[in-house]
Amino acid sequence: MDVLKQLFEQYFHLPAETVAPLQGQLGGSGRTIVRLAGGGKTAVGILYSVREENAAFIEFSRHFRRCGLLVPEIYAEDLSRGAYLEEDLGDTTLFEFLSSHRTADAVAPEVVEAYRKTVAELPRFQVEAGRELNYKVCYPRSSFDRQSIAWDLNYFKYYFLRLAGIPFNEQALEDDFGRLTKFLLTADRDYFLYRDFQARNVMLREGRPYFLDYQGGRKGALQYDIASLLYDGKADLPPELRQQLLEHYLDSLASYIDFDRAAFMERFYAFVYVRILQAMGSYGFRGFYERKTHFLQSVPYALKNLRWLKKNVKLPVALPALLDALDRMASSEKLRNISVPTTPLTVRVFSFSYRQPLPADESGNGGGFVFDARYLPNPGRLERFRQMTGRDSAVIEYLDQQEGVRSFFSHVQALVDSAVANYRERGFSSLMVSFGCTGGQHRSVYMAEHLAEHLRQAGVVNVVLRHVELEKKGLAE
């Protein structure tokens, strides 16, 4: 992390006081992503060993910002060491916003509006910014061409079908892949293809969508990216909403170029298929091959989308072997045993005194996070606060005014939010967070209350709050 700290100090002329993981190795990219903070400034640092991909992201980011698109500013870079520093866009992805504002198929109006803003911006990337983009830096291909399509389809064949034990006729499937590829290549491919346009790569800040992870971009067809967003497996958008958003995208696209809607739609669902197959290849590689089993939790959603396509869409190209393989996937006992996790994550938040043992871990998972609040200003040293607790308004007001307290809570919140997102994705059921101070009455109680309230407002986990010392003194009610 030293290189990221150096870049932070070089840009802000301040030392990085804290470095907290944001994503680390949780995604499929292999990048290490952290938030650095110091002197009231924050930035996101990335470490990744593939120089070409880093260079593409930096080049694209600077071009997109010149075009007025909402992407992170690149603060500093050291490509020789695989590092760069970018603007901190916060913690709320479009996917997390969707997850916390839906009930089954009922998606809250504010989420629909966020999606509408997102799809309306997509043509600006594809058409407006794509015109003057330097495609020479694209990696690994400058175009979503026959080779790119072959990589995606074979990724699905070898890392999903093979590893899931789904029988198929290899030559017949290759013939289908050839017909599908030929049909996909009839689409106009002279636009910027974002490549990974999905809800996890859109950040929401002040009600506006900001965009990330376009380093795999290249020239390609318009249909691919909107298919990626609308048929993003875990997002599980209702079919009616997908159609509304598709129409909104097409209306926005029409303000940039003249195009034939019928010709667009004739090819659209073929791109939906190839995107879902590419994603399933990734689930298989990460889940079956690398044994990162939380990736397999996306499989039921992808199968649901494929069933919907088979029932509602007839492609203008014959794919009998592929459709047969999809039928076999639907009836596979191995895949049926991959279920969507139904146990919600419970976060247990404790305050305690360091004069006593740490709170006991009742879940058997090892105790989780323990944060030491003793270095913060202590209201208990002031006579007027001595009989109060961290839940009393006067103590809260006092601690709210302390810069060190605000900074401490900000870093704790970022770390816990990252862990919650990870644990939910992996299907974990329990996380424990404890705050300690000298007496377990003021600072630790204040911190535990604030974190519990933050988690409850997010609405994606169950929260259990306990104040160990206050319970002993009969002050917990």
Q: How does pLDDT run across 391-435, given as a tens digit for each residue? A: 999 999 999 999 999 999 999 999 999 899 888 777 778 899 999
Q: How is residue 450 annotated by DSSP?
A: H
For the chain, the average pLDDT equals 92
Tell me: do 102 and 212 sit in the same domain. Answer: yes
Mean pLDDT for the stretch of residues 65-90: 97
> Over the stretch 436-454, which tens digit does the pLDDT of each residue have?
999 999 999 999 999 999 9
Tell me: do 290 and 237 sit in the same domain. Answer: yes
Which is higher by pLDDT, 230 or 338? 230
pLDDT at 24: 37
> Over the stretch 111-170, which tens digit does the pLDDT of each residue have?
999 999 999 999 999 999 999 999 999 999 999 999 999 999 999 999 999 999 999 999
Give me the percent of the chain exceeding a pLDDT of 70.
Answer: 96
Query: Residue 232: inside a domain, yes or no?
Result: yes
Q: Which two tokens stand for residue 213?
A: 């992870």
Question: For residues 35 and 42, is the Cβ–Cβ distance under 8 A?
Answer: yes
Residue 222 has pLDDT above 90, yes or no: yes
Tell me: do 112 and 44 sit in the same domain. Answer: no
* Contacts of range 299-306, beta carbons closer than 8 Å, 24 or more positions apart: 299/233, 299/335, 299/338, 300/338, 300/339, 300/340, 301/233, 301/234, 301/236, 301/340, 302/233, 302/276, 303/329, 303/330, 303/335, 304/236, 305/231, 305/233, 305/272, 305/276, 306/276, 306/330
Tell me: do 293 and 321 sit in the same domain. Answer: yes
Amino acid at 297: Q
pLDDT at 361: 79
Mean pLDDT for the stretch of residues 363-384: 88
Q: Which of 133-142, 316-325, 464-473 has the lowest mean pLDDT?
A: 464-473
Which of 58, 86, 114 terminates a domain? The answer is 86
pLDDT at 292: 83
- What is this structure's pTM? 0.76
Query: Residue 366: inside a domain, yes or no?
Result: yes
- Count how many residues are written for the chain: 477
The domain of 60 spans: 2-86
Mean pLDDT for the stretch of residues 198-219: 96
Mean pLDDT for the stretch of residues 189-218: 96
Locate tokens 């990048």: which residue?
31
Separation in Å, CA 263 to CA 183, 197, 259, 359? 12, 22, 8, 63
Tell me: do 172 and 294 sit in the same domain. Answer: yes
What whole-number distance in Å separates Cα of residue 447 and Cα of residue 351?
8
Identify the band that residue 341 occupies on the pLDDT scale cut at 50, 70 and 90. Answer: low
Tell me: do 232 and 309 sit in the same domain. Answer: yes
Query: E strands within 143-292?
Result: 191-193, 202-205, 208-211, 218-220
The count of domains in the chain is 3
pLDDT at 105: 74
pLDDT at 101: 86
Which is higher by pLDDT, 295 or 105? 295
Which of 316, 336, 356 terminates a domain? The answer is 336
pLDDT at 270: 98
**First vs last C-alpha separation in the chain:** 44
pLDDT at 29: 64
